[in-house]
Amino acid sequence: MDPKVVMVVRILLGLFMITFGLIKFMGFIPFPPVEGDGGILMGIYVSSGLIKLIGELEAAEGLALLVVKFVPLALTFLIAILFNAGMFHILRDMGNIMGALIGLVLSFILVFA
């Protein structure tokens, strides 16, 4: 794959993950409402503080992608986080799946580049 395309995808994924990580960590944009079992699970994540940890990891891995340090390690963590986010949305909250799918597609492009 063209190195310029890989660089653009890496920067986009880095900015994407920093943005979503800071949203979870700092809470400056509220989460969209999640109905049913997904809402209960999201409530557990928020009340236990797990969502802030996930946000910190997302922001740190996005920063690692932007500064081109530990990119394979960052992608390893991001694939795991994004896969779990995708599965959550597929199983519990199909209406809000677009962010997880965009992140997964960008990360798979980088993995196979």
**Which helix (H) or strand (E) segment is 10 a member of?**
helix 3-26
pLDDT value, residue 63: 97
Question: Could you read off the pLDDT tens digit of each residue along the chain, which spans 113 residues?
Answer: 899 999 999 999 999 999 999 999 888 888 788 888 888 998 999 999 999 999 999 999 999 999 998 999 999 999 999 999 999 999 988 888 999 999 999 999 999 98
Whole-prediction pTM: 0.89
DSSP line for 24-84: HHH-SSPPPP--HHHHHHHHHHHHHTHHHHHHHHHHHHHHHHHTTSSHHHHHHHHHHHHHH
pLDDT value, residue 38: 87
Q: Which of 41, 39, 12, 27 is nearest to 99 (CA)?
A: 12
pLDDT value, residue 49: 93
SS3 19: helix
Domain boundaries, the chain: 3-111
